[in-house]
Amino acid sequence: MAHTKSGGSTALGRDSAGQRLGVKLYGGQVAKPGNIIVRQRGSKFRAGLNVQTGKDYTLYSVMNGIVNFSKKRVNRKDKVFVNVLEVSPK
C-alpha cells in the first residue's frame, strides 16, 4: 500500500538551457583572429575596425589587437561599435 499520494504531472514543466549570450571579451583585453567578442541577438553592438559580423550577429576579431568599445551617433541614435585596435610595437 502506497504511503504518499501520486504527484501527478504538469503541462508546463519544461525549460530550455540558457543561450550564453553577451560580451565575451571586454575593452582592453587581447583578441586573436577568430576570437568571439560578443554573442548577441540582433545588432545591439555593431562591427567596427577589424571586426566582422557572423550570420547570427556574433562579432569576432579578424586580427591580433586590443578590444575597444566606442559610441558613434548614427541616424540620431547612439550606437556602440566594437573595434580591435592594432598593438603598436614597443
Q: Which domain holds residue 39?
A: 22-85
70 touches 81 (CB < 8 A): yes
Q: Rounding to the nearest 10 degrees, give the CA dihedral for residues 67, 68, 69, 71.
A: -150
Structural domains of the chain, count = 1
In whole angstroms, what is the distance from residue 72 CA to residue 86 CA? 20
* 90 belongs to a structural domain: no
In whole angstroms, what is the distance from residue 27 CA to residue 74 CA? 21
The pLDDT, as a whole number, for residue 1 is 66
* 6 belongs to a structural domain: no
39: domain CATH number is 2.40.50.100
3-class SS at 37?
strand
In whole angstroms, what is the distance from residue 82 CA to residue 78 CA? 13
Residue-by-residue pLDDT tens, the chain, 90 positions: 667 777 777 777 788 899 999 999 999 999 999 999 999 999 999 999 999 999 999 999 999 999 999 999 988 889 999 999 998 776
The pLDDT, as a whole number, for residue 2 is 64
